[in-house]
Amino acid sequence: MNTDRSEALYAQACELIPGGVDSPVRAFTAVGGAPRFIERGEGAYLFDVDGNRYVDYVMSWGPLIHGHAFPPVLEAVSNAAALGTTFGAPTPLEVELAALITGAMPAIEMVRFVNSGTEAAMSAIRVARAFTGRDLIVKFAGNYHGHADMLLVSAGSGGLTFGVPSSPGVPAGATADTLIAPYNETDALESTFDSHGERIAAVILELVPGNMGVIGPFPEFLAAVRRLCDRSGALLIADEVITGFRVAAGGAQQALGLVPDLTVLGKIIGGGLPVGAYGGRREIMRLVAPEGPVYQAGTLSGNPLAMAAGIASLSALRAPGFHERLGDTTARVAGGLRTLAAEAAVPVTVNHVTGMLTVFFTGKPVRTLADAQSSDTRAFARFHAAMLDRGCYLPPSQFEAWMISSAHTDQIIDQTLPAAREAFRHAALDAGRD
The answer to whether 138 and 192 are in contact (CB under 8 A) is yes
425-to-180, 362, 412 alpha-carbon distances in Å: 39, 15, 21
Among 3, 118, 123, 406, binds ligand PMP (CB under 6 A): 118
431, amino acid identity = A
| Residue 116 interacting with ligand PMP (CB under 6 A) | yes
Q: How far is the CB of 195 from ligand PMP (least distance, A)?
A: 26
In the complex, least distance from residue 140 CB atom to ligand PMP, rounded to whole angstroms:
11
Which of 117/163 has CB closer to ligand PMP?
117
Out of 27, 121, 265, 379, point to the residue binding ligand PMP (CB under 6 A): 121
For 27-39, b where at least 16 C-beta lie within 10 A, e where not — what string? bbebbebbbbbbe
**C-alpha to C-alpha distance for 315 and 100, rounded to whole angstroms:** 8
Kindly state the helix (H) or strand (E) to which residue 229 belongs, with its residue range: helix 219-232
Catalytic residue among 10, 56, 57, 267: 267
Judged by CB, which is closer to ligand PMP: 209, or 327?
A: 209
Binding of ligand PMP by 272 (CB under 6 A): no
Q: Write the interaction track for ligand PMP spanning residues 174-193; mark x where CB under 6 A is met and - where it is not.
A: --------------------
DSSP states of 76-126 = HHHHHHHT-S--SS--HHHHHHHHHHHHH-TT-SEEEEESSHHHHHHHHHH
Residue 48, interface with ligand PMP (CB under 6 A)? no
Closest by alpha carbon to 282, among 131, 79, 173?
A: 131
| Cα–Cα distance measured from residue 155 to residue 139, given in angstroms and rounded to the nearest whole number | 10
Piece of 221-229, 235-243, 351-359, 367-375 that binds ligand PMP (CB under 6 A): 235-243
Q: Exposure of 87 by Cβ count < 10 A (0-12 exposed, 13-18 middle, 19+ buried)?
A: exposed
Q: In terms of CB distance, is 144 or 360 closer to ligand PMP?
A: 144
364 is catalytic: no
Question: What's the N-to-C CA distance of the chain in angstroms?
Answer: 23
| Residue of the chain from 66, 126, 145, 367 that contacts ligand PMP (CB under 6 A) | 145
Q: Which is nearer to ligand PMP, 137 or 420 (CB)?
A: 137
Nearer to ligand PMP, 113 or 144 (CB): 144
Residue 275 CA to residue 123 CA, distance in Å, equals: 14
For ligand PMP, what does the binding mask look like between residues 302 and 321, x meaning CB under 6 A?
Answer: --------------------
Stretch of 36-44, 87-95, 143-151, 291-299 lying at the interface with ligand PMP (CB under 6 A): 143-151
Residue number with the smallest Cβ distance to ligand PMP: 117
Q: Are 254 and 230 in contact (CB under 8 A)?
A: no
- Of the candidate residues 9, 31, 242, 294, the single one contacting ligand PMP (CB under 6 A): 242
Catalytic residue among 48, 56, 239, 376: 239
Query: Applying CB under 6 A, does 146 fall inside the site for ligand PMP?
Result: yes
Q: Under rule CB under 6 A, how many of the chain's residues touch ligand PMP? A: 16
CA 427 from chain center: how many Å? 27
Please list the residues that pair with 271 across neighbouring strands.
Answer: 273
Among 185, 239, 261, 371, binds ligand PMP (CB under 6 A): 239
Q: Residue 160's closest CA among 193, 202, 129? A: 193
Candidate list 144, 221, 393, 399; residue touching ligand PMP; CB under 6 A? 144
User: How far apart are CB 210 and ligand PMP at their closest, in Å?
Assistant: 6
| DSSP letter (8 states) at residue 270 | G
- Shortest spacing between CB 63 and ligand PMP, in angstroms: 9
* Interface pick for ligand PMP out of 266, 279, 280, 304 (rule CB under 6 A): 266
**Which of residues 145 and 390 has its CB atom nearest to ligand PMP in the complex?**
145
Q: Sort residue 186 into left (φ over 0), alpha (ψ -120 to 50) or beta.
A: alpha
Query: CB under 6 A: which stretch of 34-42, 65-73, 113-121, 122-130 binds ligand PMP?
Result: 113-121
Rounded Cα distance, 281 and 290, in Å: 17
239 catalytically annotated: yes
The contact set with ligand PMP (CB under 6 A) reads: 61, 116-118, 121, 144-146, 206, 210-211, 239, 241-242, 266, 276
